[in-house]
Amino acid sequence: MTQRLRDNRKTEEIRSSLRETKLKISDFIYPLFIEEADNIKKEIISMPGIFRYSLDRINEELDEIVALGINSVILFGIPLTKDAEGSESWNNDGIIQKAIRYIKTNYPTLKVVADVCFCEYTDHGHCGVLCDNDVDNDLTLVNLRKQALAQAKAGVDMIAPSGMMDFAVREIREELDSHGFEHIPIMGYSVKYCSSYYGPFRDAADSAPSFGDRRTYQMDPANRNEALKEAQADVDEGADILMVKPALSYLDIIRDLKNNFDLPIAAYNVSGEYAMIKAAGKNGWIDEEKVMMETLLSIKRAGADIIITYFAKEAARILRQKDTRE
């Protein structure tokens, strides 16, 4: 007799018991934008519901995060001053170092991940030291070591280098290990594409390049096999987690990494992906809540063990309500 596959979809109880992929609140990392100023809570126009906070008001966001059961955040800083090298990023009293110390003191259960890059800190908006209007890979590595060490000294739980510099993971691993921080894991932005989906983030972090683009260091969206080479390089250099960014247009890459590497896989559900769902929901063109949850589910189904997403709070509320009903 031919199998009737619809029999397994008759009721919600049956569908739920046979569901292959399930989201958990612990899957999420929530991004935070922290501005070096006072009394700041400023909504990002292109990312409705997402705010920049000054450190004296970040507790408003952190209290809610903890109450919802989200256990991880990733920090992005907006410094008061910028220069050609992004030197504020390794200032021991820089905004992110202050934020790390504040969170670890006042919210000790939260795991704090720190972005390691320079686009938020340089006056030109590129991800490192410029030579002949391009980022010099090896000069940038010197500064990446400084930035990572400053974050480690502040008490960060995890380092996440995002600039797509060759050998970044190796250099950071060596710097951390040589100063007694062998225990701090590295989540590499192993496969980061030069994507048009980053636009709203650049509003959030004041990180748009003042000229040109980032195609000489971020990956070409057309390339799939190169992603495996980039991920393998990070594995060889000591990465503990591999990331794909963005997520939705690169679900095939998430699956490729899941199939080929025995490490946790992270995916960044980026600002443009968030903004599109928010805009369509506001206009009544989609059911925003259902599309949000379907989107996050698709990222996990593709193979992501960790999802960095601006939807973390909204999704957590839904998952908590679902758990209460069950």
Nearest 5°: the CA angle 13, 14, 17 is 85
pLDDT for 213-234, tens place per residue?
Answer: 677 889 999 999 999 999 999 9
Query: Which residues, 6+ apart, have CB-to-CB distance to 48 below 8 Å?
Result: 275, 278, 282
Catalytic residue selected from 82, 98, 245, 282? 245
- Report pLDDT for 298: 98
Amino acid of residue 98: K
Q: Is the pLDDT of residue 208 over 70?
A: no
Q: Which domains does the chain have, with CATH numbers?
A: 23-325 (3.20.20.70)
Give yes or no for residue 263 having a pLDDT over 60. yes
Q: Is the pTM of this model over 0.75?
A: yes
Q: In this structure, how many other beta carbons lie within 10 angstroms of the beta carbon of residue 214?
A: 20
Please say if the pLDDT value at position 83 is more than 90.
no
CB 154 within 8 A of CB 160: no
| Residue 25 bridge partners (DSSP) | none
Catalytic hit among 98, 111, 192, 290? 192
Confidence of residue 207 (pLDDT cuts 50, 70, 90): low
HEC per residue, the chain = CCCCHHHHHCCHHHHHHCCCCCCCHHHEEEEEEEECCCCCEEECCCCCCCEEEECCCHHHHHHHHHHHCCCEEEEEEECCCCECCCHHHHCCCCHHHHHHHHHHHHCCCCEEEEEECCCCCECCCCCCCEECCEECHHHHHHHHHHHHHHHHHHCCCEEEECCCCCCHHHHHHHHHHHCCCCCCCEEEEEEEECCHHHHHHHHHHCCCCCCCCCCCCCECCCCCHHHHHHHHHHHHHCCCEEEEECCHHHHHHHHHHHHHCCCCEEEEECHHHHHHHHHHHHCCCCCHHHHHHHHHHHHHHHCCCEEEECCHHHHHHHHHHHHHHC
| 8 has pLDDT over 90 | no
In this prediction, residue 10 carries a pLDDT of 87
Q: Say yes or no to pLDDT of 212 above 60.
A: no
pLDDT above 90 (res 92): yes
How far is 74 from 32, CA to CA, in rounded Å? 6
Determine whether 192 is an active site residue. Answer: yes
The pLDDT tens digits of the residues spanning 267-314 come to 999 999 999 999 999 999 999 999 999 999 999 999 999 999 999 999
> What confidence score (pLDDT) does residue 186 get?
98
| Pair 310, 274: CB distance under 8 Å | yes
Mean pLDDT, rounded, for 44-66: 96
The arithmetic mean of pLDDT across residues 95-115, rounded, is 97
pLDDT score for 326 = 53
Mean residue pLDDT across the chain:
92
245 is catalytic: yes
